[in-house]
Chains A and B, each alone.
Chain A
Amino acid sequence: MLRTIGKRILLLIPTLFGLTVLLFLWVRALPGGPAAALLGERATPEAVERINEAYGFDRPLHEQYVTWLGRLLQGDFGNSISTRRPVLEEFANRFPATIELSVLALIIAVGIGIPLGYWAARKHGKILDHLMVGGSLLGITIPVFFLAFMLKWLFAVQLGWLPTTGRQDRGIDATHATGFYVLDGLLTGEFDAALNALTHLLLPALALSTIPLAIIVRITRASVLEVLGADYVRTGRAKGIASKIIRNRFVLRNAMLPVVTTIGLQAGLLISGAVLTETVFAFPGVGGFLATAIFARDFPVLQGFVLFIALAYAIINLLVDISYSFIDPRVRVQ
């Protein structure tokens, strides 16, 4: 097992290296550059040239790449062109917000998606099943930003139940030890602060969870349906095994493999979904910052953030692969 994990980690190195090249070329292929973004209407060719010279963007691409990679290997992701702070510091400040948001979105997606999918499979062909399939299709197709605005309009603007923006109300006396506001509140016993942070998370997390939720419902339904028709389930039933045991040990456990893979993939995608959700809710996470960086052509931030997200994605997938061995003994044997 450890050997497999070791191999996977080693494989990550060339993958990430290739990614750095692609990333570097991609951000520089974007039309317009940081100088045009910084100067706006004042971006005369002379001014752009002077800024490009100052930042070294006029040097040959391979030189720029080697300089960047050299610093990267020393743990220096560079500084943001817009905020002039180290990319790592910006990332560290904003990552907890996005993690908190993504985790809650994932909890909603998994917590609701798996039971709904399972229920739809059990009611296969009936009206509830059709409703689930139709509903999940809607969940996949509805644009996240549109849903986010609608949720906010209804629950925050019209009903006034939940806040429109931010992570915590002003005036809340909260200690922020870890940067995860809900966790901070629970750890320090400031339950009001934790609850307040949770109310701020709820709407963006709901908006963010819709696509993964819909996908999990569909995958769970399909997977459970497949397993329900499997020979070993029929044999189990024929042998008179209790339906509860068949449901939990035979069906659910076997149906979970594709679902877990999907959850892993969706967890990674949540961060890209956060770009839109965080913008709509003015939520100070990495998603909103990444969106700003794209419009500002903030090369160091784009390179650093995407690399970091890719790393997180790779690690999540590694964890998913490891989890297979717990769900399916055959993977362990292999």
Chain B
Amino acid sequence: MRAICFLNERPSTVSIKPQKRRLKAGIAGGAALAIALTGCVESQRDGDGDAPADDVNSTFIFAASSDPSGLDPAFANDGETFRISRNIFEGLVGVEPGGADPAPLLATEWEASEDGTSYTFQLQDGVTFHDGTEFNSEAVCANFERWYNWEGLPAAESMSYYYGNLFQGNRGDENALYESCSADEELVATVNLTRPFTGFIPALSLPAFAMQSPSAMEEYGADDMGGTEDAPQYSEYAEAHPSGTGPFTFDSWSPGSEVVLQANPDYWGEQGQVQEVVFRVIDDPTARRQALEAGDIDGYDLVAPADTEALESAGYNIMQRDPFTILYLGFNQQIEELADPLVREAITHAIDREALVSQVLPEGTEVASQFIPPVVNGYNDDVTTYDHDPELARDLLEQAGYADGFELDFNYPVNVSRPYMPNPEQIFTALSSQLEEVGITVNPIASEWVEYIDLMQGSPDHGIHLLGWTGDYNDTDNFIGVFFGSYSNEWGFEDDELFSALADARTLTDPDEANSVYQDINQQIAEAMPGVPLAHPAPSLAFNERVESYPASPVNDEVYNEIVLSE
């Protein structure tokens, strides 16, 4: 057996003891330390951030853009559900504070077998679920067995998206990755896989694989869904009785209004200042800003770039997550002109990424050189880059036979804001003027979001287009494997060499080897120019002045016992 703790060999992740859950920065250690370790808000207030709890209103109200889709994270794949579930549940594997690398959480350490098909987890001692039952190896196996044994409705892709996609199927599926789980000792569990899976440990940091109380799930029929196959209904458990090991317990959910959590008095880690969390549903971005200005909420996410400056100058705390996103301009090679590498190269040289980032993208955004953010394994510092050079772009177009330019469809979505694309209309405007400059006549095609997605993924009927991705967890395949793992309508090209390289990389268990292989693949992609990686936008959050620090995380692993309030 050899130890594999993390994909990235960062010294800070080699520790065996987990931080006392998420409070290692520690309120007691002072706000300065918290800021340094967790990427906290730079408070504009003077004074000490760790005010005594009795002087502080310990209710933290955060505006959510929608209701959660349910309270059982195993059946979710959306950010608003995970925002809540991260406070109620914990997984075996967590995420480094302020980073994206896997870190110990309910498992204090783990070991992988030589062949990468067996993982043994040492579990945290003294942890109980919210229903009072103990967290131990049997509970771990009960969770894995639950996922594996789903059939019918719970196994449908619309329900258990992450398990289905990452574990490749349930009991009876030939491709199923999971084989078995054994409770070796009270606090030692072994999970066996049918084949190696490079992303296994990082994948376990996803909220969908959080540990849930087996007894609560049984009592409230977690998998007993009502309705029919074409109209499933959540179980009683997913509606009102979620039971995890996290620092907050579920209190109430008023659909359309709010979800309320209370501090877990029996939490195994440190509880922190916040005693009550309210997720208030406000789906309109302007309404969220007004609610903050009126003092009705403490903070909200995905602040529009146009609002950040005004809010900051009005004294609100604005902070950016470290980017874990990619925004790109995609080429559909089913379009005759775009199938020509000279044209693709010309467009790549026509784009001024620096100008785009400085003009229309939020502060903290980084210019992209490849389709993965710099923190992800396999990032290639020496990848081929294409500088902004309109003159060269025009020459290349001439060589391709388009000396007088040509007309090109440019698809972009409207009335939508994604973490990687806060303002598609402005991004489109900036890019189209750059393309016009080299003689390409842009034919704008705007679509509402769902129609846009359907147009990009469901048909070849589109031209160059704006799209991107927010990483679910720190795994290279979760970015480039999604984009270029096989033929898709979006990109419209066949490249068997690239497809098979990505398929092979997925099975590598040695982090060094995987890093090197993915660096080569990133170079391969850069040379093929399937699109222009534009930027890694940093999603912004806004808070009122009393929020001294907030555990911003590039992968949204934000747990509110780490929040420091001053009033």
Please give, as numbers and ranges, the residues of chain B lying within 8 Å of A36 by CB-CB distance: 450, 453-454, 457-458
User: What's the least CB distance linking A15 to chain B, in Å?
Assistant: 26
**A93–B256 touching, CB < 8 Å:** yes
Of the candidates A54, A94, A160, which one forms a contact with B156 in the assembled complex, judged by CB atoms under 8 Å apart? A54
**B158–A165 touching, CB < 8 Å:** no
Of the candidates B158, B233, B258, B290, which one forms a contact with A38 in the assembled complex, judged by CB atoms under 8 Å apart? B158
User: Does A268 make an interface contact (CB < 8 A)?
Assistant: no
Encoded as 1 (CB less than 8 Å from any A CB) or 0, chain B from 416 to 447 comes to 00000000000000000000000000000001
Encoded as 1 (CB less than 8 Å from any A CB) or 0, chain B from 281 to 324 comes to 11110110011011110000000000000000000000000000
Q: For residue A163, which residue of chain B has the nearest CB?
A: B296
**B69–A281 touching, CB < 8 Å:** no
**A84–B69 touching, CB < 8 Å:** yes
User: What's the least CB distance linking B259 to chain A, in Å?
Assistant: 12
- Give bound CA distance, A32 to B156, whole Å: 20
User: What's the least CB distance linking A116 to chain B, in Å?
Assistant: 30
Please give, as numbers and ranges, the residues of chain B lying within 8 Å of A33 by CB-CB distance: 450, 454
Chain B, 442-486, CB within 8 A of any chain A CB: 447-455, 457-458, 467-469, 482
User: Does A56 make an interface contact (CB < 8 A)?
Assistant: yes
**B284–A156 touching, CB < 8 Å:** no
User: What's the least CB distance linking B316 to chain A, in Å?
Assistant: 13
Of the candidates A40, A156, A166, A297, which one forms a contact with B290 in the assembled complex, judged by CB atoms under 8 Å apart? A156
Encoded as 1 (CB less than 8 Å from any B CB) or 0, chain A from 72 to 95 comes to 000000110111111000100110
Of the candidates A31, A42, A83, A281, which one forms a contact with B255 in the assembled complex, judged by CB atoms under 8 Å apart? A83
Please give, as numbers and ranges, the residues of chain A lying within 8 Å of B468 by CB-CB distance: 41
Given known A31-B454, A83-B255, A93-B255, contact A282–B283 (CB-CB < 8 A) = yes
**A279–B283 touching, CB < 8 Å:** yes
Please give, as numbers and ranges, the residues of chain B lying within 8 Å of A43 by CB-CB distance: 453-454, 457-458
**B454–A149 touching, CB < 8 Å:** no
User: Does A264 make an interface contact (CB < 8 A)?
Assistant: no
Stretch at the interface among B223-231, B359-367, B532-540: B223-231
Encoded as 1 (CB less than 8 Å from any A CB) or 0, chain B from 251 to 289 comes to 000111110000000000000000000101111101100
Of the candidates A84, A153, A164, A279, which one forms a contact with B227 in the assembled complex, judged by CB atoms under 8 Å apart? A84
Please give, as numbers and ranges, the residues of chain A lying within 8 Å of B467 by CB-CB distance: 41
User: Does A44 make an interface contact (CB < 8 A)?
Assistant: yes
Of the candidates A45, A78, A81, A284, which one forms a contact with B256 in the assembled complex, judged by CB atoms under 8 Å apart? A284
User: What's the least CB distance linking A48 to chain B, in Å?
Assistant: 6
User: What's the least CB distance linking A187 to chain B, in Å?
Assistant: 20
Q: For residue A282, which residue of chain B has the nearest CB?
A: B282
From A33, A44, A300, name the one whose CB has the most chain B CB atoms within 10 angstroms.
A44
Please give, as numbers and ranges, the residues of chain B lying within 8 Å of A296 by CB-CB distance: 450
Of the candidates A37, A149, A167, which one forms a contact with B257 in the assembled complex, judged by CB atoms under 8 Å apart? A167
**B227–A160 touching, CB < 8 Å:** no
- Give bound CA distance, A130 to B488, whole Å: 63
From A40, A51, A152, A164, name the one whose CB has the most chain B CB atoms within 10 angstroms.
A164
**B450–A165 touching, CB < 8 Å:** no
- Give bound CA distance, A166 to B158, whole Å: 30
Q: For residue A86, which residue of chain B has the nearest CB?
A: B233
User: Does B66 make an interface contact (CB < 8 A)?
Assistant: yes
- Give bound CA distance, A163 to B452, whole Å: 36
User: Does A292 make an interface contact (CB < 8 A)?
Assistant: yes
- Give bound CA distance, A157 to B289, whole Å: 10
- Give bound CA distance, A198 to B283, whole Å: 22
Chain A, 122-181, CB within 8 A of any chain B CB: 149, 152-153, 156-157, 160, 163-167, 170
Please give, as numbers and ranges, the residues of chain A lying within 8 Å of B70 by CB-CB distance: 84
**B454–A83 touching, CB < 8 Å:** no
Please give, as numbers and ranges, the residues of chain A lying within 8 Å of B132 by CB-CB distance: none
Given known A36-B458, A84-B69, contact A94–B256 (CB-CB < 8 A) = yes
User: Does A50 make an interface contact (CB < 8 A)?
Assistant: yes
**B286–A149 touching, CB < 8 Å:** yes
**A32–B451 touching, CB < 8 Å:** yes
User: Does A47 make an interface contact (CB < 8 A)?
Assistant: yes
User: Does B126 make an interface contact (CB < 8 A)?
Assistant: no
Given known A32-B451, A54-B158, A149-B290, contact A79–B233 (CB-CB < 8 A) = yes
Of the candidates B67, B282, B455, which one forms a contact with A83 in the assembled complex, judged by CB atoms under 8 Å apart? B67
Q: How many chain B residues have a CB neighbour from A under 8 Å?
A: 53
Please give, as numbers and ranges, the residues of chain A lying within 8 Å of B482 by CB-CB distance: 42
From B67, B283, B448, name the one whose CB has the most chain A CB atoms within 10 angstroms.
B283
User: Does B157 make an interface contact (CB < 8 A)?
Assistant: yes
- Give bound CA distance, A39 to B78, whole Å: 9
- Give bound CA distance, A153 to B291, whole Å: 10
Chain A, 224-241, CB within 8 A of any chain B CB: none
- Give bound CA distance, A280 to B284, whole Å: 6
- Give bound CA distance, A282 to B295, whole Å: 15
From A47, A156, A165, name the one whose CB has the most chain B CB atoms within 10 angstroms.
A165
User: What's the least CB distance linking A154 to chain B, in Å?
Assistant: 11
User: What's the least CB distance linking A114 to chain B, in Å?
Assistant: 32
- Give bound CA distance, A296 to B468, whole Å: 20
User: What's the least CB distance linking B29 to chain A, in Å?
Assistant: 31
**B454–A282 touching, CB < 8 Å:** no
**A297–B450 touching, CB < 8 Å:** yes
User: Does B232 make an interface contact (CB < 8 A)?
Assistant: yes
**A32–B287 touching, CB < 8 Å:** no
User: Does B58 make an interface contact (CB < 8 A)?
Assistant: no
Given known A164-B291, A282-B284, A284-B281, contact A45–B157 (CB-CB < 8 A) = no
User: Does B215 make an interface contact (CB < 8 A)?
Assistant: no
**A79–B454 touching, CB < 8 Å:** no
- Give bound CA distance, A194 to B278, whole Å: 23
Please give, as numbers and ranges, the residues of chain B lying within 8 Å of A17 by CB-CB distance: none
User: Does A289 make an interface contact (CB < 8 A)?
Assistant: yes
Please give, as numbers and ranges, the residues of chain A lying within 8 Å of B156 by CB-CB distance: 50-51, 54
From B254, B257, B282, B457, name the one whose CB has the most chain A CB atoms within 10 angstroms.
B457
**A284–B255 touching, CB < 8 Å:** yes
Chain B, 151-166, CB within 8 A of any chain A CB: 156-158, 161
**B157–A54 touching, CB < 8 Å:** yes
Please give, as numbers and ranges, the residues of chain A lying within 8 Å of B280 by CB-CB distance: 165-166, 282
Of the candidates B231, B282, B454, B455, which one forms a contact with A300 in the assembled complex, judged by CB atoms under 8 Å apart? B231
Of the candidates B287, B295, B447, B453, which one forms a contact with A40 in the assembled complex, judged by CB atoms under 8 Å apart? B453
Q: For residue B420, which residue of chain A has the nearest CB?
A: A41
- Give bound CA distance, A306 to B212, whole Å: 39
Q: For residue A44, which residue of chain B has the nearest CB?
A: B457
**B290–A153 touching, CB < 8 Å:** yes
User: Does A288 make an interface contact (CB < 8 A)?
Assistant: yes
**A164–B294 touching, CB < 8 Å:** yes
User: What's the least CB distance linking B473 to chain A, in Å?
Assistant: 14
User: Does A26 make an interface contact (CB < 8 A)?
Assistant: no
From A36, A82, A94, name the one whose CB has the most chain B CB atoms within 10 angstroms.
A36
- Give bound CA distance, A32 to B448, whole Å: 9
User: Does B234 make an interface contact (CB < 8 A)?
Assistant: yes
User: What's the least CB distance linking A143 to chain B, in Å?
Assistant: 13
- Give bound CA distance, A62 to B88, whole Å: 44
Q: Spell out B's residues near A (CB within 8 Å).
A: 59, 66-67, 69-70, 77, 156-158, 161, 227, 229-234, 254-258, 278, 280-284, 286-287, 290-291, 293-296, 447-455, 457-458, 467-469, 482, 488-489
Could you give 18 example pairs across A and B, Cβ below 8 Å?
Answer: A31-B454, A54-B230, A55-B229, A56-B229, A56-B230, A79-B231, A81-B231, A83-B69, A85-B234, A93-B255, A149-B290, A160-B295, A163-B294, A165-B280, A166-B257, A281-B287, A282-B287, A284-B255
Q: What are the 9 tightest A-B residue pairs by CB atom distance, in nearest-first order?
A: A284-B256, A32-B450, A31-B451, A32-B454, A56-B230, A79-B231, A282-B282, A32-B451, A36-B453
Given A30-B450, A165-B291, 16 more A-B residue pairs with CB atoms under 8 Å apart are A31-B450, A31-B455, A33-B454, A40-B453, A48-B457, A51-B157, A54-B157, A79-B231, A79-B232, A83-B67, A83-B69, A149-B286, A152-B290, A284-B281, A285-B256, A292-B283
